[in-house]
Amino acid sequence: MTADQKRRAFAARVRRRELSIAPGVFDMISLRVADRQGHAALYMTGYGTVASHLGLPDAGLAGFSELCERAHAMASAAVTPLIADADTGFGGLLNVARTVRGYEDAGVAAIQIEDQEFPKKCGHTPGRRVVPAEEMVLKIKVAVEARRHDETMIVARTDARTDHGLDEALRRARLYEEAGADVIFVESPESEAELERIGREVSKPLLANMVEFGKTPRVEVARLKQWGFDLAIYPGLGFSVAAEAMRLAWEHLKAKGTSNGVAVPQYGNMHELMGFSEVWDFEKRWAP
C-alpha cells in the first residue's frame, strides 16, 4: 500500500472505533517480523528506537532528524500503518509544525505528541514534568493545522497522572479533545479502576499503553474495548524478549564454546525475512 492508502485505512479504523492492536517495533528486523503478521498497526516505540539506534535511554537525547529518519525507514518498508512517537514535537510550536510535516513525509499514519517539558523522559519513569495544559493545547492546534492530510491521526498524550493525579490528567484529556486531537492517550494509569474511569470520561478514541514493567496493569484487549479503548500498544514486548533471548544465547556460547544446543528458539529463515530472494532473483535476471 502507498503511504496515503495506509493513512486512510488506519484513520477509517480509528473513526469506526474498531479495536487495533499495535506491537512496538524498534528496528528494521522487528519491523519486518511484525509487518508479516497482519496487525492493524505498528507502533514505533521511542524507548526501543532510541535504545536500538543510539544505545541511549529515552530521555530526550534523540532529536527530530534522528527519529524522523527511523520513522521513514520503518514506514517505507512496512505495508502496515505506522504510529510514530514524536516526543514533545521536539520543541516549541514551530518545531511541532515541522515534526508533523516531516513525519507525514516519512509516511507515518499517526503521530504521537506528549505534554511533557522538553527534554522529555520515558513514560512510567520518575521525574517527568508536564507543561501547562494551555501550552499543549496550542501544540495540538498547530499539529492539526500543519498536517497535509486529514487522515493523519494526531495522538495527544498526557503524562500528568503520575505527579498531578488522575483528575488533572482527565481535565487535560478533555482539553486536548477540544483542541482537535484524534486520539487521546492518558499515560500511566495505575489500576483497572482508573482505566475504566478514563474510558467513561473521554469521548474520543482512546489509546491504552500495555507496557512491560510499568505502572499500568496489562489487561486483555477484550476488556479494554469493553471499557472504551480503541487502540492498545505494546511498546516494550518485542525488545524485552529479544534482549533476554540474546542474553541467554550468548551466555550459552560463552559457557559451552558453541552455539549448538542453544535453548532459545531461533528465527527459521532470516534470508527470506530480509528479502534475499529478491536479490537472488535480480541477480539471475541481470548477471552477465
Domain residue ranges of the chain, discontinuous segments joined by +? 3-242
Count of H-run helices and E-run strands, the chain: 13, 8
- Residue-level pLDDT at 105: 97
**What does DSSP assign to residue 2?**
-
Distances (CA, A) of 61 to 31, 54, 68, 91, 230: 23, 9, 14, 13, 31
C-alpha grid cell, residue 127: 521525574
Alpha-carbon Rg for the chain, nearest whole angstrom, is: 20
Cα atoms in the 13 Å half-sphere on the side-chain side of 249: 11
Nearest-angstrom CA–CA distance, 123 and 128: 8
Q: What is the pLDDT of residue 123?
A: 67
Per-residue pLDDT, 44: 98
Residues in the chain predicted with pLDDT less than 50, given as ranges, are none
Identify the helix (H) or strand (E) that includes residue 43: strand 42-44
The grid cell for 30 is 522487528
Residue 156, CA atoms < 13 Å, CB-side half-sphere: 30
Q: What is the pLDDT at residue 27?
A: 97
Beta bridge partners of 85: 112
Tens of pLDDT, residues 96-122: 999 999 999 999 999 999 999 987 777
Please tell me the distance from the alpha carbon of residue 166 to that of residue 186, in angstroms, as a whole number.
9
Q: What is 3-242's CATH topology?
A: TIM Barrel (3.20.20)
Per-residue pLDDT tens over the stretch 26-68: 999 999 999 999 999 999 999 999 999 999 998 888 999 999 9
pLDDT, residue 81, reads: 98
160 near 172, Cβ under 8 Å?
yes
User: What pLDDT is recorded for position 287?
Assistant: 84
Task: DSSP for 131-153, please give it.
Answer: --HHHHHHHHHHHHHH-S-TTSE
Residue 100, pLDDT score: 98
